[in-house]
Structure formats: C-alpha cells, structure tokens
Amino acid sequence: MSDMHLPSAAGGKIMLVGLGPGSHEHLTARARAAIAEADTVIGYVTYIRLVAELLEGKEVIKKSMTEELDRAIEAFDRARQGRKVALISSGDAGVYGMAGPTFEVLFQAGWTPESGIEVEIIPGASALNTCAALVGAPLTHDFCAISLSDLLTPWPTIARRLDAVAAADFVVALYNPKSGRRTRQIVEARRLFLRHRRPDTPVAIVKSAYRPKQRVEFTTLEKMTECDIGMLSTVLIGNSNTFVQHGLMVTPRGYHNKYDVESGATHSGEQAGRSLSTGLTGWLAGLHSSGLGAAELAALHRLPEDYIAALLAEAPTPDDTEEAAA
C-alpha cells in the first residue's frame, strides 16, 4: 500500500454502498448505479457474492469479516489513484457498516471534503427494517439496536446498554447475536432482559432475510436461546405491549391511550391533536398537585430523584397551566 499522506489524484471517489438485505429486488437504483459507475468494488466476500453478476469487468477486492480497516484503506488508496471505488456493506453502510471505519481512515490521513476525493454514502435498508417487514410491525414504537459483538466493544459496556434499554421498555434489535466462537453473549443478554421483562415477551428471530435460506421464528424471551441463532440472524425483542397475532408481531403505537380504536372517538379527558392528559404538561401539573415529595414521586415514576426535585422547584408557567386545563 502506498503512503496514505501523499497528495491524491483528482477525480477519485469512494461510494459507501448499502446493499440492503442482499436480494436484487431490494437493491436501490442508486446503489445499482454506483456499482455500475465504479472501477473497483471492495467488500466482505459474502457481500461480493450477493452482487457478483453486477461486477463484470471491474477490479474486485474481497476481504475477510474482520478486515474492515483494510477495506477502508484499500478504498482510499484506489481513490487516491483517481479511481471510483464502491465499498459495499450489507444493509446500510452507516449502521454497523463501512461508513464509520472509512471516515476514521480518511480523517487519520488528513482528508477533507475539499481534498479532491469525493465520498458519497448510499443508504440501504438495514437488518432491523428488513427483518421487521418480514414479521409484522414490531418497530412502530420506540426502539433501538445493540450489537452483541465484543470484538471491539467491552462486554461491560454492552451489558450496561442491554440493562438500560430493557428497563426502559424499548423494542430492541440485537445485531451480531452469536457466532461460532461467541455463544454466551446471547445467553447473558437474555439474563439481563429477564430482570425487567416478562418471560413471555414476544421475540422474533430472522435469519438471512430476503436471501435464499431465509428463516423466521417466533418465540419468547424465556425460550429464545433454544432457537437457531447465528451471525446471519437478527433478534427482535418486543416491549411490554408487543403481541403476536395471526403470525404477525405488532407493537402498538399508543392510539388506544387516546382513542377508541373501533370508533375513532377520543377518550374522556383527551383531545385529538393535543398531548395526552398524561403527556408532559398534564404530568407536570399532576406532580405539583400530588402533595408527594421528590423521593416518593421518583419511586412512583421510576425517574431520578434530582430530576423530580428540579421539576417541583419550578413554578408552573401560565401556558402549562392553560394547556393542562384544556
């Protein structure tokens, strides 16, 4: 590899291409055009295989799973030579993909957007989107993604995040849940979630979404470690309201809190287009009128006592009072 700090040739370009789940019908038009535009295509060998029929006449550089920085360095080296490079990731390049390590390499080398090498990020559907589409509508309320891979992240950091989101009742997509060498991480994730969630919490496990060996399995938090889980799997853990019906996993958005779902009429005390009566304004009014102290309210709402104390110390504003009474 040449010196990364040498001046670059004009016209070089790096295209960080998200392939989506891998099937050609889910490859975006811009992703397909970027691959066609590229002189060189770089990627993990499995991702190269997904688009092999689009690569005729191109320089193809295949890398192993743990060689992300090598891929980024190769892309930068080729771009400095004036080549157009497609650096491909499955899913979205910015979600556990190649966008992050590529920018780290570029910044380390002193690259700026004005330095003569163009960088374009081409989005694709990430695993949480594609897997959710296969199982129903599990992500229609607050959700997050956590990778169980401890190749680059210390396990205590991962465990703290798992415990926090389990307690906060997020729907959670677990990426990289298990591999041949990493088998215990999913067991520990389950242990942490069971501290806060019911054993019968719905779980969906999707393997190789939209690829020939696709498999979808519904289970529960208690039994999920008994299922076939590997590196090509994404695990979707529901929240306290998620349910499975007719083979579909659904997380309600919360319309039932305000409306009669059958008639569409608002419940008593609620107004269409306005915050819930238990939204911020109504909740603040309730805090001030409760007669309870910060410690009691903190325990009741499972919130930090200093946060509650600060709210109680603030006088309600006229706008807050008016909205709460509306």
For residue 321, the model assigns a pLDDT of: 55
Round to whole Å and give the CA distance between 324 and 318.
10
Residue 71, pLDDT > 60, answer yes
Judged against a pLDDT cut of 80, whether residue 172 lies above it is answered with yes
Examine the pLDDT at 6 and tell me if it is beyond 50: no
Judgement on whether residues 303 and 200 belong to the same structural domain of the protein: no
**Is 268 among the domain residues?**
yes
138 and 110 in a common domain = no
* Residue 65: domain span: 13-125
What pLDDT score does 98 carry? 95
Q: Are residues 214 and 242 in the same domain?
A: yes
pLDDT band (50, 70, 90) for residue 63: confident
Q: Do both 30 and 83 map to the same domain?
A: yes
Question: Closest by alpha carbon to 237, among 297, 320, 177, 324?
Answer: 177
What's the chain's Rg over C-alpha atoms? 24
Residue 103 domain flag: yes
Q: Is position 188 within any domain? A: yes
Q: What is the CATH number of the domain that holds 52?
A: 3.40.1010.10
Answer yes or no: do 310 and 237 share one domain: no
Average pLDDT, stretch 316-322?
63
What φ, ψ does residue 42 adopt, rounded to 5°?
Answer: -125, 140
Q: How many domains does the chain have?
A: 3
- Do 176 and 195 share a domain, yes or no? yes
Are 92 and 153 in the same domain? no
pLDDT (mean) for 252-267: 89
> In this model, does residue 2 exceed pLDDT 50?
no
Q: How far apart are CA 73 and CA 69, in angstroms?
A: 6
Average pLDDT over residues 168-180: 96
| Average pLDDT value for residue range 42-48 | 93
Please state, for a pLDDT cut of 70, what percent of the chain lies above it.
94
pLDDT in tens, 260-290: 888 889 999 899 989 999 999 999 999 999 9
Which are the contacts of 274, defined by CB distance < 8 A and separation ≥ 6? 323, 326
pLDDT the model gives residue 3: 53
The reply to whether 7 falls in a domain is no
Q: What is the CATH number of the domain that holds 150?
A: 3.30.950.10
What is the DSSP pairing of strand 215-220 with strand 202-207? antiparallel
132 token code pair: 């959710």
The whole-number pLDDT of residue 1 equals: 43
Among residues 205, 224, 250, the one where a domain terminates is 250
The percentage of residues in the chain with a pLDDT greater than 90, rounded to a whole number, is 82
Asked if 32 and 95 sit in the same domain, the reply is yes
**Sheet containing 59-63, strands listed edge to edge, beginning at the edge strand earlier in sequence:** 59-63, 40-44, 84-89, 13-18, 118-122
Same domain, 96 and 145: no
The verdict on 204 and 272 lying in the same domain is no
Question: Bigger pLDDT: 119 or 273?
Answer: 119
Q: Which of 225, 250, 275 lies at the terminal end of a domain, its last residue?
A: 250
Give the predicted TM-score (pTM) of the model.
Answer: 0.90
Residues 121, 132: one domain?
A: no
Flag whether 6 is in a domain: no
- 160-164, 167-171, 220-224, 260-264: least confident range: 260-264
Give the confidence band of 175 by pLDDT, cuts at 50, 70, 90.
Answer: very high
Q: Looking at the DSSP assignment, which residues form a beta bridge with residue 43?
A: 62
**Is position 101 within any domain?**
yes
For 95, counting Cβ atoms within 10 Å of its Cβ (0-12 exposed, 13-18 middle, 19+ buried), the class is buried
CB-based burial label for 39 (10 Å; 0-12, 13-18, 19+): middle
pLDDT for position 267: 92
Task: Among 202, 219, 250, give the residue marking a domain's end.
Answer: 250
Asked if residue 81 belongs to a domain, the reply is yes
For residues 145 and 190, state if they share a domain.
yes
Question: Which secondary structure element, helix H or strand E, spans residue 17, and what is its range?
Answer: strand 13-18
- State pLDDT tens for residues 203-224: 999 999 999 999 999 999 999 9
Mean pLDDT over 289-309 rounds to 96
Would the pLDDT of 187 be above 70? yes
CA dihedral 57, 63, 69, 75 (to 10 degrees): 0
Query: Is 4 domain-assigned?
Result: no
Split at pLDDT 50, 70, 90, the class of 243 is very high
Point out the least confidently predicted range of 188-192, 221-225, 312-316. Answer: 312-316
